[in-house]
Amino acid sequence: MKNISQRIENYWDARSTDFSRVRRIELASADFAAWNEVIAARLPAGQLKILDVGTGAGFFAVLLAKLGHAVTGIDMSAKMIDEAQKNVAAFDCRADFFKMNAQELDFADETFDAVITRNLTWTLPDVVQAYREWRRVLKTGGVLLNFDSNYGDKNFTNEETCAKGEVETEMLVECQEIKDSLRISTHTRPRWDVERLEMLGFDVSFDEDIAPCVHVDGIPYDSIPLFGIYATKI
């Protein structure tokens, strides 16, 4: 069997073009302004250095750059990085992108004012290690914003989700096998995440489901609640 990290990278490489197409639709929709409002309310004041972990096709990179922040986006998928660069250019803004493992960051301690991520932690082999790394690169008082879903007990091959019908069955099966192999899939989220973040030295609040706040334009998303975790490094 392939190394799990390599399987995950290959999966997102294969999904990069279609994933980017959806993100471009989202960037041009009312969802962009809705996300803008949610995120801006959670960030410290001023122009910030922000790390977008698992940037994918660069949705948050574009949003944060438009807000005037200095954005660095990382992703383990080189093809996703290519799509992010295209989207940043298409929306006339700037961000720096690097191919990098979210669990092993090549940045100095206390580099960033904020770390943000979306739809990532459910795919990580070691989420606690990722949280340690994200805390390490955050300045004291910096914030971690994690938007994700509790996919652990979901079956992507028969769930009524937006992916069904848009992603080939072979890819759904691969995604299901990857998910089932990860420890994070055995935990109840986001409460598990909140407990671990508090143990690592964060002050944490969270929302069980922000989907009604950010999915406002009729774009088809899955029906799984989208939680928001807001953690401050203390």
Tens-place pLDDT, residues 129-146: 999 999 999 999 999 999
Strand partners, 227: 148
Q: Which of 8-22, 107-121, 156-170 has the highest mean pLDDT?
A: 107-121
Which phi and psi (to 5°) does residue 222 adopt? -70, 170
Query: Under 8 Å CB-to-CB from 69, ≥6 apart: which residues?
Result: 43, 47, 48, 49, 50, 114
pLDDT at 1: 39
**Between the CA atoms of 196, 130, 124 and 188, what dihedral angle is there, to the nearest 10 degrees?**
10
pTM over 0.75: yes
pLDDT at 221: 83
Residue 45 per-residue DSSP state: S
pLDDT tens column, 19-58: 999 999 999 999 999 999 999 999 999 999 999 999 999 9
Residue 164 per-residue DSSP state: B
Residue 178 per-residue DSSP state: H
- Count CB atoms within 10 A of the CB of residue 126: 14
Q: Are 105 and 72 in contact (CB under 8 A)?
A: no
Query: Under 8 Å CB-to-CB from 92, ≥6 apart: which residues?
Result: none
pLDDT at 187: 96
Q: Are 70 and 46 in contact (CB under 8 A)?
A: no
